Amino acid sequence: MKVLVLDSPDEVGKKSLEFLRGPRIAVSGGSTFLELFRIWMPEVKRKAATGEGLRFFPVDERKVPFEDPDSNWRVCYEGLLQPAGLTGQREHRAISAPQYAAMLEREFGVGPVVFDSVFLGMGKDGHTASLFPGAGAIRDRKSIVLDVIGPKPPPQRITLGLKPLWDCKTLVAIAIGSSKAEVVRRLREGDPELPITMALAGHGNAVLLLDKAAAGAV
């Protein structure tokens, strides 16, 4: 795992653009990505205008209506896709594991689901995507997509499993702020209880982007 520590959240956002490799990109939700989408949008819009077809998909989604502020895909659509002119990708929303798995099969064909890049956040408890500590989903090394119940509200979720996280070409995890310093410390020590540790260790060539606060350097 390659660890890069940047001075500020804005620098982390700019650095993350270097790993935004298409065409097929999976992105997470939460406040970290709300901010990332703002930084990414001009570049994604420019790429779209020049015909570089970036295609975005959710790493995970909450089972709420698209209009609900808790919908990850609504946050991605309003903060990134719509302003970048990628309105057609509103339909990449995950509604259930079978529905999303079928969408990915249409996208990737019958072969393996290999995203060009996948971007993960992490919770203070060490969850990533909607893979939570101690959950059965973290022992599932085969499923592409899973329906899960998680402790982080809203509880009913759809998530990519470990396999597509491990199979992707570029896997990037991002943590920003002092509230993530403890989980980042546990991750860097290789705590096997943390789904974020399993996700990054299983990939073998993952990148961890941190600001100084999350790195415990302030």
Residues contributing to the site for ligand 6PG (CB under 6 A): 28-32, 59-60, 72, 121-123, 127-130, 152
Calculate Rg over the CA atoms of the chain.
16
Q: Which is nearer to ligand 6PG, 47 or 117 (CB)?
A: 117
Q: How far apart are CA 206 and CA 54, in angstroms?
A: 21
Q: Which is nearer to ligand 6PG, 72 or 197 (CB)?
A: 72
Question: Per residue in 37-51, is it b (16+ CB within 10 Å) or e — as a string?
Answer: bebbbeebeebeeee
Two tokens at 75?
A: 């946050």
Nearest distance, CB of residue 50 and ligand 6PG, angstroms:
29
Q: Which is nearer to ligand 6PG, 52 or 99 (CB)?
A: 99
Nearest distance, CB of residue 175 and ligand 6PG, angstroms:
8
Two tokens at 61?
A: 């989604």
Nearest distance, CB of residue 128 and ligand 6PG, angstroms:
5
Instruction: Give the helix/strand (H/E) hosting 46.
Output: helix 31-49
Q: Which is nearer to ligand 6PG, 89 or 159 (CB)?
A: 159
Nearest distance, CB of residue 193 and ligand 6PG, angstroms:
16
Q: How far apart are CA 153 and CA 29, in angstroms?
A: 13
